[in-house]
Structure 1
Amino acid sequence: MSGTPMPLPGPWDTRLPVGFTVELAADAHRSRDGRLLLGGALPRLLRLGPTAARLLDGGRFTVTGRTSAALARRLLDIGAVHPRPPVAPGDGGVRTTVVVPARDRADLVEGLLARLRDDPKTAELPVLVVDDGSRDPAALARAAARHGATLLRHPRNLGPAAARNTGLRHAATPYVAFLDSDVAPRPGWLAPLLAQFADPAVALAAPRIVAAPAPAGRRGVLDRYEAVRSPLDMGPREGPVVPLSALAYVPSATLVVRRAALGAGFDPRLRVAEDVDLCMRLYEAGWRLRYVPGATVGHHHRTGLRDWLGQRAGYGTGAAELALRHPGQVPPLHAAPWSVAACALLLRGRPLPAAAAVTLAGVTAVRLARRMPDADTPVRAAALLTLAGLRGTAEQLLRCATRHHWPLALAAGAASRRARRLLLAAALAEGLLDHRRAASGLGPLTHTAVRRLDDLAYGWGVWHGALRRRTAGPLLPRIVRTATPVRPAAATPRPRTPRPAHQPSANLPAPH
């Protein structure tokens, strides 16, 4: 398989229209005088000019001219503000075609089409069902016919990317909604996504994918785990999709796209991680991508342990191909040298290395404080940012030991009693922390055990893919000399081929 990504056209217009409103993100923080702003998908500290500070004083502002449009674009692109478009552009839903790729699963397709036809907002939409080489094509054809959907058929299985592309080629509307056969859209899911396209630079909008309720009488361990840790659920926070950030991609289970932006569409050479690849290619071409958790879609997850583990391992295999196509964009660890060194010193568990770690963190905080003397409390702000960076790196190291690098951790544990104790402590601590963070319905130890199975399967897939493709890319950390950048809020649009900013800690994609 070629490691060359398919090119995509860039946006032809990035200017926000007059009347476009943006609102300050809930996790963005301003100084008391309003001149400093900390926030964004990849956190940074911005110095605001008098005009920019005045516009943001109410927590939101509306584009009225060139200056406000440029500021809104800049803040939108970094994730410090979010769009608040009033309605979908044009005539909304009637300009959208639904594409459902499917291989067999006629019962799930039947349920999905029934939901679409029962919702007044989607009842009249054209629907294309793409049969990707079903073993029982007649059953799928009957389901499509009952709900007035057009059936397109592949004579053999070509994969989900190729099936979506077939639907994309046959769609005649400006927007296309891709829905997998195992999703259950909830009422009102489409309008918030279409509203994002009021920004002419937005190519893709995605809803939150949540676990569909288990059938009555069946709520097993995997059902309860998936309810809080589905790999398709990107969480409750909206924002831009930016590589190396907490929202590095969105899954293709449900996506709404601007048809003209996708070119030839998904890469049909990929059987997994085609959604992550598409997000990265769109971003690299200069398009904006939005995650909108206010729109929700249910997902019927796998319930058999063997199938569930196989799915997780399959997700992991995609990391190698992504690492070849997008070097440095899918590291298991993304951190600054000082924070990695401090964590390594603390792991020694001795007074002298611990003192050295504290000194290193202190020096980092002092240097950061000197870069923002106009903060309300420079020393306190720098200390909090330094601790946040240290904590983020520590959490990533825990994940590396229990997920991406568990074969190495096991080998170290077999050779050293101390390493074995550290590994057991890491496996337990990470699981218990995640149980608390996720508010899991499982008991703490049960949640931890299932999470370890999840990570073992995914990590196995990562190593299998890396060996098969003969690359260490998905296993290599990305260590970058960085601090929270302090920049003027220059009201200039992002370059067409952007370079992602860095941060001391970053959540990493789990390819689908």
Structure 2
Amino acid sequence: MSRPGVGAAPEAVRLPKGFAIQLDPGVRVQPGGRVLIGGMPLRILTLSRTAAGILADGAFVVSDDLSARLADRLLATGVAHPRPAPAEPERITVVVPVKDRPAGVDRLLTQVRATVTPAPELVVVDDGSRDQLAIARIARTHGARLVRHRTSKGPSAARNAGFLSAETRLVAFLDSDCAPLAGWLEPLLAHFADPLVAAAAPRIVPMGGESWLDRYERVAGSLDRGPAEASVFPRSRVPYVPSAALVVRRDAFGAGFDETMRVAEDVDLVWRLVESGWRVRYEPAAQVAHEHRTQPVEWLRTRAYYGTGAAPLALRHGSAVAPLVMDRWSAGAWALALTGDWRAMVAALGVTAVAASKFAVRLREDVPALEDAGSTAYSLVRGGTLASGWQVASLLTRHAWPVTLAAALVSRRARRIALAVAVGEGVAAWIRDRPPLDPVRYVLARRLDDLAYGTGLWVGAARHRTFAPLRPDFTKVTRPPRR
């Protein structure tokens, strides 16, 4: 399927001298400092003795070609994060796509003018609003340039049209239901000191509200990528960032958003940038408030709408959208465990033990610098198997819930397993998230969230006549790189 192009990532560029790097707090540094284990998907990196010396304190500043190459490798694998110096003030362009939200545009532009220095170039793209005079009046009040579509062409086309009228090096996209908080822009601009950063995104936080769905959204909002910074790429802890608030490098944007996509166009853009060699950063120190839809019917409709984006993404990006990604050993262990038979559960433990043993042999061969391959292999396999359990639960309750329901209608054992997974996963998530919501309503909201998204996924799959977004990916365990 043809896709819009993005700008070519520059070749043979290095991080500038003085650029600081720090390991992710979740990365395990093995004794001797030459082996790093961390990231998601999991990475096992072996450093040369010289590189290990540079990284001895878990952080360093780029000072020469070797440290620049090391920093680039650590950033590319997601096991380290940049600590760039504050950016020099520069003028940016803020593009606001809107349809029928004049009050939202007024609130947003007021916040932008209060939080961005120097004063930005403002572009409002009216994507076929019913009251175009109201949008024009607000744009004029705030000194914004107005681009008008007589009929709606969709958010992708609106953002692209706004981008084409921009002239600055960096362009920020902000949706009309957002309101940037004080200090939101500076942490994002600092990331562009890395010449390979194409885009940086803030954390999206709820604007307010005290209903039970508002409180659920505080910890499970679909636009919130969490409190930890990350490098953004498929199958990582932060696989995408939403375009509700996004700053992009003009040279990287290319043809921009795919205008044939009315949903998930932001995921597609991020993945095309990454495929082209660019980096995308998620920066939670920058925050933008978002007016979540929390009226029950509207909330469910929004979740289902997001689900319809899985099919076009799968047709463009293949297994990056797979609802289940795990090695065959973990898949076999969970297949046995889900039978509900105690003998099969014992066999599942045996499968996990054998997997750990085989992985230990591989680690001894491929990572000779690793001092305790046996305990490391056991720890990684155990952690990977438990993490796979979350994926299995999500598959049963979210992506493939119609199949789970059909099985439960004809099998008593399937009913027991489905109920145990639906309740158990919800309670475990409540313990993990500690939401400002009692466990009953939290679990209920979580299951409704899954049902709505899964419904949209199946509708999208039927519309595009594909099972691609439902196809699991059973991977082989890859051999760790030697150096």
Per-residue CA deviation, residues 100-121 of structure 1 (Å, 9 max, x unaligned), is 10012111111111111222x3
Matching of residue 488 in structure 1 with residue 466 in structure 2? no
1:118 aligns with 2:117: no
Task: Give distance in 1, aligned partners of 2:90 and 2:473.
Answer: 42
CA distance in 1, matches of 2:432, 2:349: 27
Q: Corresponding residue for 2:341?
A: 350
Tell me the CA shift for residue 260 of structure 1.
Answer: 1.2
Equivalent positions of 1:65-84 (< 5 A) are 65-84=64-83
Counterpart code for 2:337: L
SS for the counterpart of 2:90 is helix
User: How far apart are 1:395 and its partner, in Å?
Assistant: 1.0
Q: Which residue of 2 aligns with 1:224?
A: 215
CA shift for structure 1 position 43: 1.3
Displacement of 1:35: 1.2
Matching of residue 366 in structure 1 with residue 357 in structure 2: yes
* Structure 1 Cα separation of the partners of residues 27 and 400 of structure 2: 33
**Given the alignment of the two structures, is residue 204 of structure 1 paired with residue 199 of structure 2, yes or no?**
yes
Secondary structure, aligned partner of 1:486: coil
Q: In the alignment, what sits opposite 1:338?
A: 329
Structure-1 residue corresponding to 2:90: 93
2:27 corresponding residue in structure 1: 28
One-letter amino acid of the counterpart of residue 189, structure 1: W
Instruction: Measure the CA separation in 1 of the matches of 2:410 and 2:374.
Output: 43
- Which piece of structure 1 moves more, 283-292 or 353-362? 353-362
Q: Given residue 411 of structure 2, which amino acid in structure 1 is its aligned partner? A: S
Q: Letter of the aligned partner of 1:389 in structure 2?
A: G
Query: Does residue 264 in structure 1 map to residue 286 in structure 2?
Result: no
Distance 1:359 1:118 in 2: 61
Greater RCO (CA < 8 Å, at least 6 residues apart): 1
1:21-44 C-alpha deviation (Å, 9 max, x unpaired): 111111111012111111123211
1:145-164 superposed matches below 5 A: 145-164=140-159
Aligned twin of 1:11: 9
* 1:93 partner letter: E
Aligned to 1:316: 307
- After superposition, the C-alpha distances for 1:301-351 in whole angstroms (9 at most, x for unaligned) are 012211111111110011010111111110010011110100111222334
In 1, the alpha carbon distance for the partners of 2:71 and 2:273 equals 21
Query: What whole-Å deviation, never above 9, does each CA across 1:115-148 have from its counterpart, x for those lacking one?
Result: 11222x3461111011111001111112222222
What is residue 49 of structure 1 aligned with on the other side?
48
User: 1:4: how far off?
Assistant: 2.5
Give the structure 2 partner of residue 194 of structure 1: 189
CA shift, 1:371, in A, is 3.2
The count of corresponding residues between Structure 1 and Structure 2 is 478
State whether residues 113 and 119 of structure 2, in contact with CA within 8 Å, keep that contact through their aligned partners in structure 1. Answer: yes
Letter in 1 for 2:336: L
In 1, the alpha carbon distance for the partners of 2:186 and 2:7 equals 26
- CA contact 1:93–1:190 (8 Å) conserved in 2: no
Q: What residue is the counterpart of 1:328 in the other structure? A: 319
Give 1:376 deviation, angstroms.
4.2
Equivalent in the alignment of 1:496: none
TM value normalised by structure 1: 0.91
**Residue of structure 1 in register with 2:429 after alignment:** 434
How far residue 265 of structure 1 moved from its aligned partner, in angstroms, is: 0.7
The amino acid across from 1:182 in the alignment is D
3-state SS, counterpart of residue 179 of structure 2: strand
Alpha-carbon distance in structure 2 between the residues aligned to 1:133 and 1:437: 43
Using the alignment, how far apart are the partners of 2:372 and 2:181 within structure 1? 46
- Counterpart position of 1:233: 224
Given candidates 389, 411, 416, the residue that maps to 1:416 is 411
- Residue 321 of structure 2 aligns to a residue whose secondary structure is coil
Q: Shift in Å at residue 63 of structure 1?
A: 1.3
Quick one: distance in 2 between partners of 1:395 and 1:5?
32
Q: Residue by residue, what CA displacement relative to the aligned partner does 1:50-91 show, whole Å, maximum 9, x if unpaired?
A: 111000012211111111111110111001111111022xx4
Q: Which moved more, 1:457-466 or 1:133-142?
A: 133-142
Q: Is the 8 A contact 1:41 1:242 kept in 2?
A: no
**d(CA) in 2 for partners of 1:44, 1:146:** 52
Structure 2 length as normaliser, TM-score?
Answer: 0.96
Change (3 A) 1:28 1:252: same
Letter in 2 for 1:486: P
- Measured after TM superposition, the shift of residue 416 of structure 1 is 0.3
> Following the alignment from structure 1 to structure 2, what is the Cα–Cα distance between the partners of residues 351 and 310?
41
Equivalences for 1:492-503 in 2 at 5 Å? Answer: none
Pair 1:61-2:60 in alignment: yes
Q: Which amino acid aligns with 1:118?
A: A
| CA root-mean-square deviation | 1.3
Percent identity between matched residues is 48
Contact 2:89 2:117 in 1 (8 A): no
Paired residue type of 1:466? A
Q: Which residue of 2 aligns with 1:104?
A: 100
Counterpart contact for 2:206–2:289, Cα < 8 Å: yes
Inter-partner Cα distance in structure 2 for 1:469 and 1:110: 38
Q: Look up the SS of the partner of 2:208 in the other structure.
A: coil
1:203 shift after superposition: 0.5
Aligned partner (choices 297, 300, 314) of residue 291 of structure 2: 300
Q: Tell which deviates more after alignment, 170-179 or 391-400.
A: 391-400
- Deviation, 1:486, is 2.2
How far has the Cα of 1:177 moved from its partner?
0.4
Aligned AA for 1:18? Answer: K
Q: Following superposition of structure 1 onto structure 2, how do residues 467-486 of structure 1 map, counting pairs within 5 Å?
A: 467-482=462-477, 485-486=479-480
Structure 2 segments unaligned to the other structure (5+ residues) = none
Query: Aligned equivalents of 1:153 and 1:162: distance in 2?
Result: 11
State the partner residue of 2:239: 248
Whole-Å Cα distance in 2 between the matches of residues 354 and 306 of structure 1? 41
Cα distance in 2 for residues equivalent to 1:194 and 1:462: 35
Code of the residue aligned with 2:195 in structure 1: it is P
Work out whether residues 340 and 417 of structure 2, in 8 Å CA contact, stay in contact via their aligned partners in 1: no
Q: What corresponds to 2:132 in structure 1? A: 137
Contact in 2 for aligned 1:97/1:126 (Cα 8 Å): yes
Superposition deviation, residue 156 in structure 1: 0.8
Give the match's secondary structure for 1:442: coil
Please give the alpha-carbon distance, in whole angstroms, between the structure 2 residues aligned to 1:155 and 1:93: 33
Alpha-carbon distance in structure 1 between the residues aligned to 2:190 and 2:459: 41
1:464 corresponds to 2:462: no
| CA pair 123-144 structure 1, distance change in 2 beyond 3 A | farther
Task: Confirm or deny: 8 A CA contact 1:46 1:487 kept in the other structure.
Answer: yes
- Measured at CA, do residues 31 and 395 of structure 1 come closer, stay the same or move farther in structure 2, by a change above 3 Å? same
